[in-house]
Amino acid sequence: SQQGHLSASALRFKTSMFGDLSTNGQLDGSNYDMWSWKIQFLLNEHEAFEHLTTTMSVPATKDKDNKDITATDKYQASLVAYQEWCKKDRKARYTMLYCMHDDL
């Protein structure tokens, strides 16, 4: 796991930051600047920062001549990349929602 590569102090910092964001550090409308910095750091640590500003489309199943391309290696690789992106995007969204006050 990635945590095995972190020093004990780095792991404590990472854990305390997530704990802070999920309890008293939740976005409440008055603390956006600090919350934004922390959530960006947290998402970057989870290699999900790009999900704040990018989207990914489902790969096309037909080529420009309207031929089915779903059996091609290129399509399959694009589909796997899309599925992995969606999984990471769900985690990023969950992380952000978890770190926001319920009243927002």
Write the pLDDT tens digit of every residue in 39-84.
Answer: 998 899 888 999 989 999 999 999 999 999 999 999 999 999 999 9
Rounded Cα distance, 33 and 45, in Å:
19
Whether 45 is in a domain gets the answer yes
pLDDT (0 to 100) of residue 22: 65
32 located within any domain: yes
103 lies in a domain? no
Q: Check residue 104 and give its pLDDT.
A: 80
Give the pLDDT confidence score for residue 3 in this predicted structure. 45
Instruction: Confirm whether 76 is domain-assigned.
Output: yes
Helix axes 73-98, 32-45, angle to 10 degrees: 140
Residue 24 structural domain: 2-98
Residue 70 within any structural domain of the chain: yes
**Residue 92 within any structural domain of the chain:** yes
Cα gap 88→85, rounded to integer Å: 5
Answer yes or no: is 104 within a domain. Answer: no
Give the chain's length. 104
Q: How many domains does the chain have?
A: 1
The answer, as to whether pTM is greater than 0.85, is no
pLDDT reported for residue 73: 98
pLDDT computed for residue 25 by the predictor: 79
Helix (H) or strand (E) holding 38: helix 32-45
Half-sphere exposure of 79 (CA within 13 A, CB side): 10
